[in-house]
Amino acid sequence: MNARRLWREASPALLPWAASRVVVLGALGTARFLHNEGKLAAAVAPPSLFEWDASFYRSIARHGYASVAANDGLRFFPLYPLVARLLGGSDLALLGLASFCTFAFLVVLRVLAREWVDDRAAERVVWLAALGPGALATVMGYAEPLYLLLAAVCLLALRRSTHAALAVAGVAAALAALTRPVGVLLVIVFAVELVRRRDWRVGAAGVGAPLGLLAFLWWSRTAGYGFTDPLRLQSKENLRGKLVDPVRALLGAAKDTLVDHRIGPGMHLVWALAALALCVVALRRLPLGPALYGALAVLVALTSRNLDSFERYLLAAFPVLVAAAALRSTRDSDRVVLALLGAALTATSILAFTAAAIP
């Protein structure tokens, strides 16, 4: 690909990528102003891009898992902090890696949307992905940007039939599963393609995702931790809690909203219902493999009684964003939607930076 074609593919993602950073950094500035003016609780630390899970990734990148094991830090998968450590382990390395991967993901996502739907959906989806409330994690020191890029590259490569493309798809799936546990769900796309193509090479590439997951679990055991600790720890009551069926999770969020008058669960409930509706659209409009992967990612995000961080988990289900972009709309309605998303991202970011909500 020559430089001119590369720029033509990448440039439409530049403005949405920059806009998400302007919104989140503006929210960070607002939160810091409130902190400096004494408007926040005394216990709230000065806001930064390394709040919440980002602080764990920074510790792992600098000092390894021994620095976070006592605080259940083994639940954070290794590829993002490992790559950041290879880049020096500094704050700049962590944030720079996340920012670069976000931009590259938007570029690949646009290509996928064009191939799955059409050019109009491709133009819209980059804005939906960049300004959704979960996009806060793409600006902070989180692993989501690296995961999103690897998953998107996997799905794009799997659309090709060459040996090289299938090898890329398998490797990307393995690395995705080393970045976030949800990466193992990519195996469903390989399974669908294997049935459709009847090509053993697709099946061989498909073992990448489970092998990536098993590699970290095996390391956990050999390092003196439990084989299932990276998965088991997430189900502790002070984190996501025990697994529940999605219906129970939704009813719990509704009860918290209507009976206990809690705002947070109500916000999660709205996004969850929208995501479920878009899963139906995805199954009707998108190729079956990516649509099933997106739907499974949404359902997995709904398997906790505590729906905190649901919007961030929804990022992994990016095919449903393509489904949203495929819906009919007008230019005016698109502007309204983007304005509402920008406002939601601003509010979510301020709440996260002021310790009022978990991103």
Q: What is the largest CA-CA distance in the chain?
A: 64
Per-residue pLDDT of the chain (359 residues; tens, 9 = 90+): 677 888 888 999 999 999 999 999 999 999 999 988 888 876 677 899 999 999 999 999 999 999 999 889 999 999 999 999 999 999 999 999 999 999 999 999 999 999 999 999 999 999 999 999 999 999 999 999 999 999 999 999 999 989 999 999 999 999 999 999 999 999 999 999 999 999 999 999 999 999 999 999 999 999 999 999 999 998 887 778 788 999 999 999 999 888 887 888 889 999 999 999 999 999 999 999 999 999 999 999 999 878 889 999 999 999 999 999 999 989 999 999 999 999 999 999 999 999 888 88
CB 28 within 8 A of CB 47: yes
Identify whether the C-beta of residue 141 lies closer than 8 Å to the C-beta of residue 57.
Answer: yes
Report helix, strand or coil for 159. coil
| Among the listed residues 203, 198, 229, the one whose alpha carbon sits nearest the alpha carbon of residue 216 | 229
**Token output for 140:** 């902070």
Q: What is the number of other CB atoms lying within 10 angstroms of the CB of residue 221?
A: 12
Angle at 110 between CA 15 and CA 343, to 5 degrees: 45
Q: How many angstroms separate the CA atoms of 165 and 183, rounded?
A: 18
Q: Distance between CA 66 and CA 220 in Å, rounded?
A: 11
Q: Is the dihedral of CA 297, 304, 57, 230 positive or negative?
A: negative
pTM, two decimals, is 0.97
